[in-house]
């Protein structure tokens, strides 16, 4: 207890300098935590991917469609339990800045495949009965003030024209990691409209979502599906949902790498700040350390004092920064919901914060400790007064 009291008195001997250092550490840890949260949010779709879901798309690119007739052939492949399908719609709500993911899907099988999208049974029944109905995530509906029964119009980009939909249900996530900003409507509504306006684009889907019996047969089932359509006019590429999501992240890998580098640069900068603070503190206490040596205290005791002081300052700033991360992430999550539907501070991020704090405290104290231990008693006593 006495040692802890001494460490705190030493750490806050110069209150202004210690306060500014702690403030700098808090800001750095806050920035580090937010950057790590951005990275985690980027990979949230990968983490949430099911091990029993496969995605089948055109082997050339996902922008090329597949025939709706593939559904029955896929269902006959051994290991396949359920098959659903859909298209990326790419509609715009009022203005281009109002971006959100919108898909047309086969609703019965799609919601069976995604039990994490929880929908009230009565709302689900109303949605299934209305060809022009749609379901929106809780966050998306709250953002635009939509209520069941409201008519919403999307301007088509891939599929031209103004498309009217009626909100029949609002889903919520089974847990906090589920994206609640998506928009789903009936694939049949899109297909019927295409038959009347652009017949050549009817009977086509962008992807098939496939539920399999067990995770261990995913690879064999994917190979079997692609084998069925080999040498056809539209060959397929089937992969796990996780691999499919990683393919999209790979397109922005350079951005993710840049964010990771910036997060580490922040830690290096604050490490230099703490090291400078400890160096100044050590120089001021050179006489104190000389007296301690005269009284019989050795390198071990001096090392504990310097490292302990560094740890007190660093942990105080880090804990403040960690506490500020939660309200900051909430504010950022609301403003960046379009790009990061799931923006939560994870336990891993907090562990990284603590690891960074201990690393800063340790490395910042090495040189000052070495200087204090090596200084001779006579040289140290000369600085008294």
Spatial separation of the C-alpha atoms in residues 356 and 344, rounded to whole Å: 20
Same domain, 230 and 100: yes
Spatial separation of the C-alpha atoms in residues 83 and 72, rounded to whole Å: 8
Give every CB contact of residue 296 below 8 A, 6+ residues apart in sequence. none
Counted domains in the chain: 2
Same domain, 79 and 213: yes
What is the domain range of residue 153?
60-234
End-to-end Cα, the chain, rounded Å: 30
Whether residue 229 is contained in a domain is answered as: yes
How sure is the predictor about 115, in pLDDT bands with cuts at 50, 70 and 90?
very high
Residue ending a domain, choose from 171, 205, 234:
234
Q: Whole-number mean pLDDT of the chain?
A: 85
Residue 3 has pLDDT above 80, yes or no: no
Give every CB contact of residue 259 below 8 A, 6+ residues apart in sequence. 35, 38, 39
How sure is the predictor about 381, in pLDDT bands with cuts at 50, 70 and 90?
low
Strands 161-173 and 151-156: antiparallel
Whether residue 329 is contained in a domain is answered as: yes
Spatial separation of the C-alpha atoms in residues 315 and 35, rounded to whole Å: 20
Same domain, 262 and 376: yes
Same domain, 38 and 64: no
Q: Tell the residue number behind the tokens 């336990």, with chain if given.
A: 347
Contact of 266 with 32, CB cutoff 8 Å: yes
Segment 146-150 mean pLDDT: 95
Of residues 323 and 288, the one with the higher pLDDT is 323
Indicate the pTM of the whole model: 0.76
Of residues 252 and 140, the one with the higher pLDDT is 140
Residue 25 has pLDDT above 60, yes or no: yes
């Amino acid at each position: 207890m006495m040692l802890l009291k001494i460490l705190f008195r030493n750490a806050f001997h110069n209150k202004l300098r210690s306060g500014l250092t702690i403030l700098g550490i808090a800001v750095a840890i806050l920035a580090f935590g937010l950057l790590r949260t951005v990275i985690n949010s980027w990979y949230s779709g990968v983490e949430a991917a099911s091990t029993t879901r496969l995605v089948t798309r055109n082997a050339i690119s996902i922008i090329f469609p597949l025939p709706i007739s593939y559904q029955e052939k896929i269902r006959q492949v051994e290991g396949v339990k359920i098959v659903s399908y859909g298209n990326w719609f790419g509609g715009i709500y009022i203005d281009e800045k109002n971006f959100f993911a919108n898909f047309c899907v086969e609703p019965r099988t799609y919601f069976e495949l995604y039990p994490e999208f929880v929908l009230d049974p009565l709302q689900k029944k109303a949605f299934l009965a209305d060809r022009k109905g749609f379901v929106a995530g809780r966050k998306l509906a709250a953002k635009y003030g939509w209520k069941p029964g409201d008519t919403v119009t999307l301007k088509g980009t891939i599929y031209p024209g103004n498309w009217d939909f009626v909100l029949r249900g609002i889903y919520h996530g089974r847990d906090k990691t589920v994206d609640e900003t998506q928009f789903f409507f009936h694939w049949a509504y899109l297909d019927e409209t295409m038959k009347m306006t652009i017949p050549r684009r009817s009977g086509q889907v962008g992807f098939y979502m496939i539920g399999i019996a067990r995770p261990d047969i995913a690879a064999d089932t994917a190979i079997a599906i692609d084998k069925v359509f080999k040498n056809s006019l539209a060959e397929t590429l089937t992969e796990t949902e996780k691999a499919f999501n990683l393919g999209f992240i790979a397109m922005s890998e350079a951005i993710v790498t840049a964010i990771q580098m910036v997060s580490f640069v922040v830690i290096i900068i604050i490490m230099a700040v703490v090291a400078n603070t400890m160096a100044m503190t050590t120089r001021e206490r050179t006489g104190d350390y000389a007296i301690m040596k005269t009284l019989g205290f050795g390198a071990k005791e001096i090392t504990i004092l310097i490292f302990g002081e560094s740890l007190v300052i660093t942990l105080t700033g880090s804990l403040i920064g960690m506490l500020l991360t939660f309200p900051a992430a909430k504010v950022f999550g609301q403003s960046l919901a379009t790009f990061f539907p799931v923006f939560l501070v994870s336990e891993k991020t907090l562990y990284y914060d603590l690891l960074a704090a201990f690393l800063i405290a340790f490395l910042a104290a090495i040189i000052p400790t070495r200087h204090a231990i090596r200084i001779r008693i006579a040289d140290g006593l000369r600085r008294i007064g």
